Structure formats: structure tokens, C-alpha cells
Amino acid sequence: MNIVKDIGLYSLLMYRVFVKPDRGRMFWKQLPKELEKLGLASLPIVIIISIFIGAIMTIQTKLNTENPLLPTYSTGLVTRDTLLLEFSSTIMCLILAGKVGSNIASEIGTMRITEQIDAIEIMGINSANYLILPKITAFVLMMPFLVIFSMAIGLTGGYLVGAFSDIITTADYLLGIQYAFIPYYVFYSVVKSLVFAFLISSVAAYYGYNAYGGALDVGKASTNAVVNSSILILFFNLLVTNLMLN
Amino acid sequence: MIEVSHLFKSFDGEQVLKDISAVFETGKCNMIIGQSGSGKTVLMKSIIGLHRVDSGKIEYDSRNLPDMRMRDIRRLRREVGMLFQGSALFDSMTVMENVMYPLEMFSSSTRLEMENRAKFCLDRVNLNEHSYHLFPSEISGGMQKRVAIARAIALNPKYLFCDEPNSGLDPKTSLIIDQLIYEITHEFNITTIINSHDMNSVIEMGENIIFINNGIMAWSGTNKDIYLADNEDLNDFVFASELYKQVKKINQ
């Protein structure tokens, strides 16, 4: 029953979020701040994780496919497709669900328990629209760039393995990442990331907005936001993959 | 003027407000007093519309809040200022930005005019220019209350609500905040409703007091009447301390 209640409350909240802002000027003032906070501030973690995962994936693929029948470029090819299809969109979004989701839920949750949201409502402002719409818009706008950036950095990580070790030659790696490239995979990944970005930001906002009590409840809201958005990411990953790749 | 009549409110079947009727007059400090858990915060939040009442009327100068659509409630709220117990200032904004916020949302004035209005409000609550660019976390509790008052009056409200305005303040600062609320109420002819259990505030500025006990309006009167009241619950609440017992004796 809680799931039904949550879906109902989430839908009602989204209904309040997606309306014309009370003051467009204030929305445009908030948007760059959110782009910076949710998008640009996520770049360091995207870079660190992508470069290491790209490198590790290259090493593991090479070590696990030591077969003379397989072409030498296969390591680069597998690394590229794994990064494009799953890592840079799904796994990166699961990681960002932790960073961005907890950030949104705790920020809005703290505003709720310190009566800042009540203060906005008392002024006659649609607090859901004012607080949540810029966050969702900013994160959905930034996510494709983060995903494409992650792909590029991940592939660079693999290249560095070739450049600084003798596990694979850079020539083989570069041939592999260019071989039989399907641009549609990038499109598919970007579409998935847009769905995930919406889920992360809106689910986190929902839990933050409905936080009541004290610091403990903000912590709970933050945890719920991360756990539930992660589950939804996995579910929608299956759904979108079936729709777009099947 | 705000008039509430036959107000009922319950949570999960438990009746919290039982048939409350009261008139909150314009240009006066109207106080809601009562013990913790008596229902005074629920009453205030119901009057503002943060809680939907089960039945009864809440009339803002003859406009009945429970009958209004959300759009009309929002319009009405632009005539309302509120001072929250914890000040509820926006952490991410400076003092100046906090006061500018309602103006930016609703005023059609130029930036300069808005800044001048914000400066006037901050000046009115005796905050100097040095504090304008500080964040709420960088100023004292008393200063936060003053900023919250400045923000509440920025749009020239007709109605001002104060929830425990002295909570967490020392007696001297409490007195300053009380005086400020009293002066602003009379200067701008605002209908002010103060929710408090601070007896100094009640005696200081209670021009119209209603006493809530277990969700029932048990007594109403002024700060002068309170010494002579024969309501047992009210006397238990007001004259709980030895000091006020002595004050009552002297007054009688």
C-alpha cells in the first residue's frame, strides 16, 4: 500500500512542479546555479571513476580473452561497447544517484524541517515549482554531457593502459575502439541517461520535500532517495533497453 | 480583521481543535496562548491555511479561506507575512537577498526600488549595512529574527503571523523583538497574530488574548483582564511561576 501511496504523492508533486513558474526571471536565475551545483560539480567524480574503470576494463578484458583465435583489436572493441552501452549511462547514473540524489534530498529535506518551504508557501509561491523544477531541468540538461564525457574519459583510461604498460598495444586498442562502431549506441545511452536523470532528481526531490521531523528524518529521506532511485534506474534500464535494442 | 468561527480540526481521528471562535482585530497584537500541545500552533497553521480544517470559517476581511481555490489562497498569502519560530531564513541567501526575495517574486518595481524597499525594512528593524551581505549562519539568533521580520513586512502585509517569536532568545533580546512587533503592528495597521507561551510577551503586548486549553478556547480578554481572570486553567498556566503569583497579588 505504501508503494501506491508514494506513487500517488509523487504524481501530485510532479503535477505541482511542472507548471509555469510564478516568476520566470527567478527560474532563469536558479537554473545556472543548479547546472553548476548538480552538473559541473559532478565532473571530478565522473572523471576519476571513468578513467579508472576504462583502464581496469581494458586490463581485465585483455587478461580474460587470451585466445589466439580472437582478433587483437577485440579488447578495445569490448571496452568501448561496455562503456557506451552500460557503464557511462547506467553505472555512472547509479553513482550519481548517490551523489546528486542525496544532495537534492538533504537540501530540500533540510529546508522542509527548518520551515523554509513553509515560508515560501506562506508568501504565496508554489514551493514545489520554485525549488524542484530548476533542479530537474538542470540535471536532465547536464546528464547527456556527463555521459558523453564519461565515455571519452573511459576510453582514454583504456588507452593509457596501452601507453604505459605492455598489456595491449595502443595500435590494437585504437583499432578496437573504432572497429564496427555503431553511433546508435551513443544515442541509446544518451536517451537512457535522460530518463535516469529525471528519475534521480525527481525521486530525490520527492523524498526531500516530504521529509518531516528532524535531522534523522532528513538522513532517512536521503537514504530512501538513493535506494529507490537506484532500483528505478535498474528497472527503467531494462525497459528502455528492451524498447531500443530489442 | 480575521474572524474564525466554529473551527474544528482533527488528526487521525483525534480532535485537536474543538469549536474555536475568535476575532483577531486590525492594528492590534492578538495573542494565542496555551500550554505546549494545547493546539495553538495547529490553530495558527489552520488560520494561515497550512492545515486544512475539518469545518468552520476563517474569514480574512470577509474572505473565507476554506472556500477558496488554491490560486486565490496564493493571492491572499501575498497579503500575509510570517515570522517563524526558527526564523526560516534561506540559508543560501544573504540577509539582503532574503528580504529582497518576496519583492523579486511579486513586485513589479525596478531593481533599485526593490533594494531601497529592502533597505528600508532592514533599517526599520534596526539592522545596519554591515549585516546586509552576511549569511543567516553568520548572524545571531536575535538578528535572524529581525531579518525575518524585515522579510515579513517587505510586501506591506495586511496580516502578520508570529509563531513563538521569542523562542531561543535571551530576555533582553526578546523584549526588543516584542517591541518591534508591537511598533510595526501599530505603525502599519497590521492584523498581527502571535502564538506564544512567553508570559513577558503576553503581559507586554497582549491587546487581545485567547487562551487555548486542550483544543478549546477557554478564555479571551486583554493583558489587563488576565490578572483578574477566574479561569482556573488560565491561572495555572499564567501564574505558574512565583514571580507572576506575586505580580497577580499586587495587581489584585
DSSP codes joined into one string, B123-171: HHTT--GGGTT--GGGS-HHHHHHHHHHHHHTT--SEEEEESTTTT--H
pLDDT over 90 at A54, yes or no: yes
The predicted pLDDT at position A197 comes to 97
Q: What is the rounded average pLDDT for all residues in chain A?
A: 94
Residues of B within 8 A of A118 (CB-CB) are 50, 82, 84, 88
Please tell me if residue B74 touches chain A, with a CB cutoff of 8 Å. Answer: yes
For a pLDDT cut of 90, what percent of chain B falls above it?
50
Of A23, A25, A124, the CB nearest to B77: A124
The predicted pLDDT at position B29 comes to 93
The predicted pLDDT at position B170 comes to 84
Size of interface A-B (CB pairs under 8 A): 56
Q: What is the rounded average pLDDT for all residues in chain B?
A: 89
Paired strand residues for B190: none
Contact between A118 and B104 using a beta-carbon 8 Å cutoff = no
- Chain B: residue nearest A125 by CA? B74
pLDDT in tens, B136-173: 999 998 899 999 999 999 988 999 999 988 887 888 88
Does an H or E element contain A31, and which? Answer: helix A24-34
pLDDT over 90 at A66, yes or no: no
| CA separation for the pair B34, B247 (Å, rounded) | 19
C-alpha cell at B97: 537577498
Q: Which of A123, A126, A129, A212 to mutate to test the interface with B (most CBs of B within 10 A)?
A: A123
- Chain A: residue nearest B100 by CA? A26
Domain parsing of chain B, residue ranges: 2-79+158-251, 88-156
| CA separation for the pair B226, B236 (Å, rounded) | 12
The predicted pLDDT at position B242 comes to 64
Residues of A within 8 A of B155 (CB-CB) are 123
Q: Which of A115, A117, A127 to mutate to test the interface with B (most CBs of B within 10 A)?
A: A115
Q: At what angle do helices B141-153 and B171-187 cross, to 10 degrees?
A: 10
pLDDT in tens, A158-216: 999 989 998 899 999 999 999 999 999 999 999 999 999 999 999 999 999 999 888 99
Of A110, A115, A125, the CB nearest to B105: A125
Please give the C-alpha separations between residue A121 and each of A96, A126, A128, B78, in angstroms, as whole numbers: 30, 6, 9, 10
Interface confidence, given as ipTM, is: 0.83
Please tell me if residue B86 touches chain A, with a CB cutoff of 8 Å. Answer: yes
Tell me the pLDDT band of A1, cut-offs 50, 70 and 90. Answer: low
Please tell me if residue A215 touches chain B, with a CB cutoff of 8 Å. Answer: no
Residues of B within 8 A of A22 (CB-CB) are 105
Please tell me if residue B160 touches chain A, with a CB cutoff of 8 Å. Answer: no
pLDDT over 90 at B50, yes or no: no
Please give the C-alpha separations between residue A134 and each of A23, A131, B59, in angstroms, as whole numbers: 12, 7, 35
pLDDT over 80 at B239, yes or no: no
To the nearest whole Å, the CA of B88 is away from the closest chain A CA by: 5
For residues B199 and B158, the model is more confident at: B158
Q: Around Cβ B47, how many Cβ atoms within 10 Å?
A: 25
Residues of A within 8 A of B102 (CB-CB) are 123
The predicted pLDDT at position A186 comes to 95
Tell me the pLDDT band of B9, cut-offs 50, 70 and 90. Answer: very high
The predicted pLDDT at position B166 comes to 85
Contact between B105 and A26 using a beta-carbon 8 Å cutoff = yes
pLDDT in tens, A93-150: 999 999 999 999 999 999 999 999 999 988 888 999 999 999 999 999 999 999 999 9
Do the Cβ atoms of B163 and B151 come closer than 8 Å? no
Please give the C-alpha separations between residue A99 and each of A106, A201, A208, in angstroms, as whole numbers: 11, 11, 14
- Domain B2-79+158-251: top CATH class: alpha beta
Of A22, A116, A122, the CB nearest to B90: A116
Mean pLDDT of B67-71: 88
pLDDT over 90 at B128, yes or no: no
Contact between B77 and A26 using a beta-carbon 8 Å cutoff = no
The predicted pLDDT at position B200 comes to 83
Output the pTM of the full model.
Answer: 0.87
The predicted pLDDT at position B169 comes to 82
The dihedrals phi and psi of B17, each to the nearest 5 degrees, come to -115, 130
pLDDT over 90 at B95, yes or no: yes
The predicted pLDDT at position B85 comes to 86
Task: State how beta strands B159-163 and B191-196 pair.
Answer: parallel
Selection from A102, A108, A95, A93 nearest residue A195 by Cα: A93
The dihedrals phi and psi of B79, each to the nearest 5 degrees, come to -100, 5
- Chain B: residue nearest A122 by CA? B77
The predicted pLDDT at position A104 comes to 97
Please tell me if residue B205 touches chain A, with a CB cutoff of 8 Å. Answer: no
Tell me the pLDDT band of A40, cut-offs 50, 70 and 90. Answer: very high
For residues B227 and A96, the model is more confident at: A96
pLDDT in tens, A191-207: 999 999 999 999 999 99
Please tell me if residue B137 touches chain A, with a CB cutoff of 8 Å. Answer: no
Burial class (CB in 10 A: 0-12, 13-18, 19+), A216: exposed
DSSP conformation class of A39: I
Mean pLDDT of A74-90: 94
Tell me the pLDDT band of B251, cut-offs 50, 70 and 90. Answer: low
pLDDT over 90 at A61, yes or no: yes
pLDDT over 70 at B241, yes or no: no
Tell me the pLDDT band of B186, cut-offs 50, 70 and 90. Answer: very high
pLDDT over 90 at B10, yes or no: yes
